[in-house]
């Protein structure tokens, strides 16, 4: 067993600013010994993501108390008795959708929506069953997406990590566990953008900007970034967008139609907002496809003109974790990073200690940050 520090969410929906209400409490937790198919990882970096924020603010529902954090990277310090392909000292990136390899989704080549994993995630446990986290009173704490990396150490199932042999600073590699897989994956894997197509990306946070970079890497001819924040639109131009628009522009659809052949081939919604979904659908050309990987609040509904969908043969496609197969895609995206096609280091705003995390989520909620990284053991970019 390991005693370590971790950020625990006990009360969702506390008011902002979070620097004052402190929804994430720094606690000393006990990590139970790993089961045969588990690992213990020393967390080197963990990204602050809107997915964490959506549980903190109550827009999405989880099992509480819960130790937060799902985007991260670290070093293996202990290996379960049944694991023979990972060793102590290996560098790993966490991935929040492990797969059992046996259910119908895994068998059909879609491991990112494994049925066993979604059940375990909903129960706040690991794919190997149950929680390995206890508080100071011995009470169970739920895992967040089977990872819980806002901590010094994490116990995870073997399937929740991808071993990397890469010179990238491990603290920075954290962003490949969610932002890169979700944003770049939505473009390359789900939308499968072809060279010469036109693309509009709605929502230019860390995930959305990874979508912009993915669109550029795919050879898209016109890449349009749409967001409320001017600074994010400027960053999108820096990272490959050819044009940007304010999401509040009442003439957005007509301006995009004038710029393209009556609309874009692909619209990618990465904001997690119904308004963004509506805007994305409005800019599609005939035969266009809308890919959405943003998570809206639980129960939110998106509507469209059914006749338009059919008569113009449009498509609306969901994308979970960018339809990524992590063991294939994380190394692939790392190669693209080193080739200069995915300069994701430009998304990193800074590195935080535990005491700064709640304030970091204020900045994220206010649109003032792209990717802030918790460094539980201090920053080492060697």
| The pLDDT of residue 269 is above 80 | yes
| The pLDDT of residue 237 is above 90 | yes
The mean pLDDT value for 93-121 works out to 90
Is the link from the previous residue into 17 a cis peptide, with omega within 30 of 0? Answer: yes
Q: Looking at the chain, which runs of residues are DSSP E strands?
A: 2-9, 24-31, 38-47, 66-67, 71-79, 91-94, 133-134, 140-143, 153-157, 161-164, 198-202, 222-227, 243-246, 264-269, 284-292, 315-318, 348-352, 371-374
CB atoms within 10 A of CB 300: 12
The mean pLDDT value for 343-371 works out to 96
Question: What pLDDT does 61 receive?
Answer: 84
The mean pLDDT value for 44-59 works out to 94
Task: Quote the mean pLDDT of the chain.
Answer: 95
Task: Assign 109 a pLDDT band (cuts: 50, 70, 90).
Answer: confident
The fold for domain 180-320 equals: Rossmann fold (3.40.50)
Which is the CATH superfamily of the domain at 2-177+343-374?
A: Medium-chain alcohol dehydrogenases, catalytic domain (3.90.180.10)
Task: Name which of 272, 266, 259, 258 is nearest 204 in CA terms.
Answer: 272
Q: Token pair for residue 301?
A: 């509904």
Q: Token pair for residue 252?
A: 């957005």
Instruction: Give the separation between CA 100 and CA 80, rounded to whole angstroms.
Output: 17
Instruction: Give the separation between CA 373 and CA 358, rounded to whole angstroms.
Output: 12
Question: What pLDDT does 296 receive?
Answer: 87
Task: Assign 382 a pLDDT band (cuts: 50, 70, 90).
Answer: low
Task: Assign 122 a pLDDT band (cuts: 50, 70, 90).
Answer: confident
Task: Name which of 330, 324, 312, 379 is nearest 352 in CA terms.
Answer: 379
Phi-psi region of 354 (alpha: psi -120 to 50; beta: other; left: phi over 0): alpha
Q: Is 382 exposed, middle or buried (0-12, 13-18, 19+ CB in 10 A)?
A: exposed
Give pLDDT tens digits for 135-180. Answer: 999 999 999 999 999 999 999 999 999 999 999 999 999 999 999 9
Task: Name which of 153, 137, 159 is nearest 69 in CA terms.
Answer: 153
Question: What pLDDT does 65 receive?
Answer: 97
* In the chain, domain spans: 2-177+343-374, 180-320
On whether the CB atoms of residues 27 and 140 are closer than 8 A, the answer is: no
> pTM of the full predicted structure?
0.94
The mean pLDDT value for 285-302 works out to 93
The mean pLDDT value for 179-190 works out to 96
Interacting residues of 191 by C-beta distance below 8 A, sequence separation 6+:
199, 266, 268, 289, 291, 317, 319
**Pairing relationship of beta strands 222-227 and 243-246 according to DSSP bridges:** parallel
Task: Assign 97 a pLDDT band (cuts: 50, 70, 90).
Answer: confident
Question: What pLDDT does 121 receive?
Answer: 87
Is the link from the previous residue into 68 a cis peptide, with omega within 30 of 0? Answer: no
The mean pLDDT value for 249-266 works out to 96
Task: Name which of 21, 165, 12, 170 is nearest 87 in CA terms.
Answer: 165
| The pLDDT of residue 44 is above 80 | yes
The mean pLDDT value for 327-356 works out to 96
Question: What pLDDT does 295 receive?
Answer: 86
Give pLDDT tens digits for 57-83. Answer: 988 888 999 999 999 999 999 999 999
Share of the chain above pLDDT 70, in %: 99
Question: What pLDDT does 175 receive?
Answer: 97
Sheet containing strand 198-202, strands side by side: 243-246, 222-227, 198-202, 264-269, 284-292, 315-318
Instruction: Give the separation between CA 109 and CA 169, rounded to whole angstroms.
Output: 31
Share of the chain above pLDDT 90, in %: 90
On whether the CB atoms of residues 209 and 182 are closer than 8 A, the answer is: no
């Amino acid at each position: 067993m390991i005693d370590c520090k971790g950020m625990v969410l006990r009360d969702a929906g506390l008011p902002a600013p979070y620097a004052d209400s402190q929804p994430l409490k720094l606690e000393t937790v006990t990590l139970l010994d790993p089961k045969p198919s588990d690992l213990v990882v020393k967390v080197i970096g963990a990204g602050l993501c809107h997915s964490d924020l959506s549980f903190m603010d109550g827009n999405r529902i989880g099992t509480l108390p819960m130790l937060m954090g799902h985007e991260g990277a670290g070093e293996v310090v202990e290996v379960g008795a049944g694991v023979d392909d990972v060793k102590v000292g290996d560098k790993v990136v966490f991935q929040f959708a492990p797969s059992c390899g046996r259910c119908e989704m895994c068998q059909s080549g879609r491991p990112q929506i494994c049925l066993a994993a979604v059940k375990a995630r909903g129960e706040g446990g690991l794919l190997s069953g149950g929680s390995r986290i206890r508080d100071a009173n011995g009470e169970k704490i739920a895992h967040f997406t089977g990872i819980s990396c806002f901590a010094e150490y994490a116990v995870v199932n073997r399937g929740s990590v991808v071993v990397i042999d890469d010179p990238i600073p491990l603290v920075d590699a954290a962003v490949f566990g969610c932002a890169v897989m979700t944003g770049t994956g939505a473009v390359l894997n789900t939308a499968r953008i072809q060279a010469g197509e036109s693309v509009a990306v709605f929502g230019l946070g860390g995930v959305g900007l990874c979508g912009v970079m993915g669109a550029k890497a795919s050879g898209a001819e016109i890449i349009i970034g749409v967001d409320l924040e001017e600074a994010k639109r400027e960053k999108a131009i820096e990272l490959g967008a050819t044009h940007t628009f304010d999401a509040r522009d009442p003439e957005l659809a007509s301006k995009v139609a004038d710029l393209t052949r009556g609309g874009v081939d692909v619209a990618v919604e990465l904001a997690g907002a119904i308004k963004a979904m509506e805007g994305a659908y409005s800019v599609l050309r005939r035969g266009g496809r809308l890919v959405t990987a943003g998570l809206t609040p639980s129960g939110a509904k998106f509507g469209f003109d059914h006749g338009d969908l059919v008569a113009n043969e449009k498509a609306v496609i969901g994308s979970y974790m960018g339809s990524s197969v992590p063991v294939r895609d994380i190394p692939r995206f790392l190669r693209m990073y080193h080739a200069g096609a995915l300069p994701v280091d430009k998304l990193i705003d800074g590195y935080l200690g535990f005491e700064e995390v709640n304030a970091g989520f204020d900045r994220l909620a206010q649109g003032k940050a792209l990717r802030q990284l918790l460094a539980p053991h201090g920053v080492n970019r060697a």
